[in-house]
Amino acid sequence: MRKFVFVISYALKRMTRDAIKSLILILVAASFTILISEISFSLEKQYTRMNEAYETIDVEGFLTMKDGTEAKVYSKYIKMFSETIGEYSSYIKDLCLKRSVYYLPSENYTPPDGEALPNLIGISRTKADVSLLPVNKAEITYYENYDESAFLSDSDICLVSAKLAEGKSTGTPRIDKDGYITLYAYIELVSREMVKVPIKLKVIGTYTNGDKDIYCPWPVIVETLKIGFTGDLYSEGLKFTITDNLKIDEFKEKASKIFVPTGYMGNDKDTTINMLLL
């Protein structure tokens, strides 16, 4: 009888001990499974966020010379990037063009010796000129009923410096009682002859951290340059934003048929325009 009780007692102890081990094993396995699931979920969530960030972040492209210096981008290339008819129109938006010409505040104005003439600058968007960017501490204030969209038009409007608007700038035109300024674009023709082209512009706002430069829409400069034969139209650089980041590689492959890629290490005498994507 005693032996029987011992056997039963031993069996119960083994069963209890094995059950505890089994329970511990089950708990460890369950914890490990939960941990793996949490890690997988966290990684998937981070991957989704990275994809969303990649798809929404602004990616800008530039045209420069292959050594990174500013390029004169002529009409042939400007048309390629036109947002309406250009062959790259499905890949880009917010095309930025810029062209500067000298101006005189009056027809018979003669600048003092050693003083450079100020610029009338045609831009397709304010971010086409780094001097107007917040990073350079520039602030733009538009007058009532106007905003940056005015630069997407061919209207005879302009931005002037706050200093010019306050009448504190010398060698610049004055704003009349109706809010207009009259100046003379001073343009060099192919023949090297200088001509004066009168322009009247409505002042629609001011910018800080500047003095004599006046900004007008890109089409105003284009029309001004048509007055005389000044050679092929060009922009002082060209900048754009990619519309769909998932198509960057597709765009680069298509553009590589015309432009050399970033990091091109060709012959130093090669003056090919380089495409930089940042």
Domain boundaries, the chain: 1-57, 60-239
Q: Is the pLDDT of residue 137 over 80?
A: yes
- Phi/psi of residue 21, each to 5°? -60, -45
Residue type, 183: L
Closest listed residue to residue 119, CA positions, set 94, 99, 93, 101: 101
Task: Give the span between the Cα atoms of 33 and 103, in whole angstroms.
Answer: 74
For 212-247, write each residue's pLDDT tens digit. Answer: 999 999 999 999 988 766 678 899 989 999 999 989
Q: Is 192 left (phi over 0), alpha (psi -120 to 50) or beta?
A: left
For 25-68, write each residue's pLDDT tens digit. Answer: 566 656 667 767 666 666 565 555 555 555 668 888 888 877 77
Closest listed residue to residue 222, CA positions, set 243, 240, 199, 204: 199
Contact 218, 52 (CB under 8 A): no
Task: Give the span between the Cα atoms of 66 and 68, in whole angstroms.
Answer: 5
What integer is the mean pLDDT of 129-148?
92
What integer is the mean pLDDT of 159-187?
95
pTM of the predicted structure, to 2 decimals: 0.77
- Tokens, residue 145: 């009923």
Q: Is the pLDDT of residue 90 over 50?
A: yes
